[in-house]
Amino acid sequence: MKMKKIKLIAFDLDGVLVDGSGSWAQVHEGLGTLEQSEINGHEYFSGRITFDEWAERDVALWRGVDIETVKEILYNSHLMKGIDETIPRLKKNYKLAVISGGLKILADHLKEKYNMDYSYGNELMVNDGKVKGINQIVDFEGKGKILEKIANDAGIKTEECAAVGDYINDIPMFKVAGFSIAFNPKDESILEYVDEVIYEKDLRRLLRFF
């Protein structure tokens, strides 16, 4: 069933447009800081620290690293199968957005590469070309509010938006959107919030809905 009323499609980044461990983990892997980052993640999911504290602790592990090194790691991300066909075809008929709890560097890179309309992610702060901190724009519960902002900026209703995601932090976006798709869901609990599910790592599977 094609969604004729949809005017904008919002995509999660990690696990949807990018096939891999996620932009945060990818940088940790590239810089050799993954083990400590896993401790930080456990602290967050155990309720001992906030999401912002988690992000700040993670980025503290990268403080002083050349931002060009981070970009090189992220720009080598393995993109999801079918992206080169799917995104240009959707762009002909819809506005496209990236809303990521990951790093804005990668969200912006894909926005520019595929001529998408909006990109939101968490922004690394830089001083003299070196990482110094993080500007938290998309927190764990924030994707719904950002989709509302994008819809308002685009002059459309939220029910005219579709959302594609794979994890529990996409639920706020699913609740706001008029049509939602779980793409290879990492957590089955998200299924009650979506209209369709795709169990295949191929973005072309989205095309039958749009």
Q: What H or E segment, with its residue span, contains residue 11?
A: strand 8-11
103-to-15, 48, 83, 136 alpha-carbon distances in Å:
13, 23, 19, 10
Contact by Cβ (8 Å): 160, 95: no
N-to-C CA span, the chain: 8
From edge to edge, which strands make up the β-sheet containing 196-198? 130-135, 118-127, 95-103, 8-11, 161-165, 179-183, 196-198
Structure tokens belonging to residue 8: 């904008």
175-to-137, 179, 181, 191, 192 alpha-carbon distances in Å:
19, 9, 11, 12, 10
Catalytic residue annotation: 12, 14
Among residues 92, 168, 104, the alpha carbon closest in space to that of 134 is found at: 104
